[in-house]
Amino acid sequence: MPAIEMTNPAALPADWRDFVALTKPRVMSLVVFTGLAGLLLAPELPPFALGFTAILCIALGAGACGALNQWYEAEIDAKMRRTAKRPLPAGRMDRQSALHFGVGLAFFSVILMGLATNWLAAIFLTASILFYVLVYTVWLKPRTAQNIVIGGAAGAFPPLIGWVAATGHVSALPLLLFAIIFLWTPPHFWALSLFVRSDYAAAGIPMLPVVAGFESTRRQIFLYSLPMAAAAVAPWPLGLAGPVYGLSAAVLSFVFLVLAGRVLASRATEPAQMDAEKHLFAYSVFYLFALFTVLVADQWIH
């Protein structure tokens, strides 16, 4: 991999804030939240110190993914307006520091998870890191428009890891949570990729709008929203959650489908006109937060 030009003198050590930026803190917040939800939904809660450590390890594992992703994609990030100011493309950090930081975080999070909770949780954490870095970032992302569909599995692991850290085994509810995030990822990312299409095109990443066009992407967003909504409501009829969750999930998913329908009907081709896409993207983040919050609240009510 050719080295990227450094605008910063090599002798200058990277600022600690840039190491924090390398972990993608905003993405990490959603990962931590869904991991915490998985842990809180477990039938038996671990002691506070172990639960805290499990969530810390999930956060550090997500941080490792962010760092290794930015290490591998430094040159691609430099071509996209959205990512050009990250520490590596902006020349504020050398590549080797990012690699060492990412690998170190990954090993640390997995070993601590295994020692503090159980090794099954550590295995799932390892799988999620390897899946994100090797399967999604290195293999799928630069090669296929289905990158987000399969790669979405990496982001779906945290509630499963949280649950397994608490219980030591896998059961139906965490698998359903995995399915919800897995099916939520394509509409979420494709809504974003519609209004940053030119960035992806400039970087040569075959995101669906770049490869298949706007109309096809909008259709796929709506089609994926249907099984996502079904998976979101499913815990209620399956007896894994109560009516508080079931009705809330139905309303939240209905609004999601309405917004996805607006995207389907949209004919905008300029980012400035893509209000429907921006609304769906913003709502999709709220949707996942709200869904998991209500699910935890519902379990506690019962």
Partner 1 sequence: MPKLEDEIIRRQRERARITALLLGAFVILLFFITLAKTGINW
Among 10, 48, 237, 272, binds partner 1 (CB under 8 A): 48
Among 6, 56, 130, 268, binds partner 1 (CB under 8 A): 56
Pick the closer one to partner 1 by CB: 110 or 208. 110
CB 173 within 8 A of CB 240: yes
> Helix, strand, or coil here: 118?
coil
> What φ, ψ does residue 273 adopt, rounded to 5°?
-95, -5
The span of 27-35, 44-52, 66-74, 147-155 binding partner 1 (CB under 8 A) equals: 44-52
Task: Report the number of secondary-structure helices (H) and strands (E) in the chain.
Answer: 13, 0
Can residue 300 be called a binding residue for partner 1 (CB under 8 A)? no
State how far the Cα of 187 lies from the Cα of 190, in Å rounded to an integer: 5
Among 2, 9, 237, 239, binds partner 1 (CB under 8 A): 9
State how far the Cα of 57 lies from the Cα of 28, in Å rounded to an integer: 11
Among 27, 50, 123, 268, binds partner 1 (CB under 8 A): 50
The span of 13-21, 140-148, 225-233, 264-272 binding partner 1 (CB under 8 A) equals: 13-21
Give the contacts of 280 (CB within 8 A, at least 6 positions apart): 187, 191, 221, 256, 259, 260, 262, 263
Can residue 116 be called a binding residue for partner 1 (CB under 8 A)? yes
CB 252 within 8 A of CB 236: no
CB of 262 to partner 1, least distance (A): 46
> Helix, strand, or coil here: 213?
coil
Can residue 16 be called a binding residue for partner 1 (CB under 8 A)? yes
CB of 14 to partner 1, least distance (A): 8
Let me know if 268 is exposed, middle or buried by CB neighbors in 10 A (0-12, 13-18, 19+).
Answer: middle
Can residue 10 be called a binding residue for partner 1 (CB under 8 A)? no
Can residue 13 be called a binding residue for partner 1 (CB under 8 A)? yes
State how far the Cα of 18 lies from the Cα of 20, in Å rounded to an integer: 5
Among 12, 45, 172, 238, binds partner 1 (CB under 8 A): 12
Can residue 45 be called a binding residue for partner 1 (CB under 8 A)? no
Among 15, 169, 254, 301, binds partner 1 (CB under 8 A): 15
Tell me which residues touch partner 1 (CB under 8 A): 9, 11-16, 46-50, 52-53, 56, 115-116
